[in-house]
Amino acid sequence: NAGVTQTPKFQVLKTGQSMTLQCAQDMNHNSMYWYRQDPGMGLRLIYYSASEGTTDKGEVPNGYNVSRLNKREFSLRLESAAPSQTSVYFCASRSSGLAGVGYQETQYFGPGTRLLVL
């Protein structure tokens, strides 16, 4: 079971270049997320997708676009990279299941993509 996969693992860009970060999950989850992680700031939500065909902004969406290609895949695009976007990017998907009273919910994370913008 691969879980959540991300490509690439590491990327160096020059200011103004564009690129797409890929994410895929094989757990049949409806919801998928993109986070960025910066030193001393934990993880911050960039965009999320509650289901195939829908996307919504999170806490820090500026400079990014997303695409929910199908249920498995959720990509993050930087149209014109800036040094402030140097970060580690995590994709996640969310499970939810009825267990006894109420729902049990957990997010599963990919291994991350390190992006350096020069």
Nearer CB in complex with other proteins: 30/75: 30
Residue 34 engages other proteins in binding (rule: CB under 8 A): no
Question: Distance between CA atoms of 60 and 36, rounded to whole angstroms?
Answer: 9
Nearer CB in complex with other proteins: 51/80: 51
Nearer CB in complex with other proteins: 11/17: 11
Phi, psi of 101, deg, nearest 5: -90, 125
- Within 35-54, the residues that bind other proteins by CB under 8 A are 40-45, 48, 50-51
For residue 58, give the DSSP letter: -
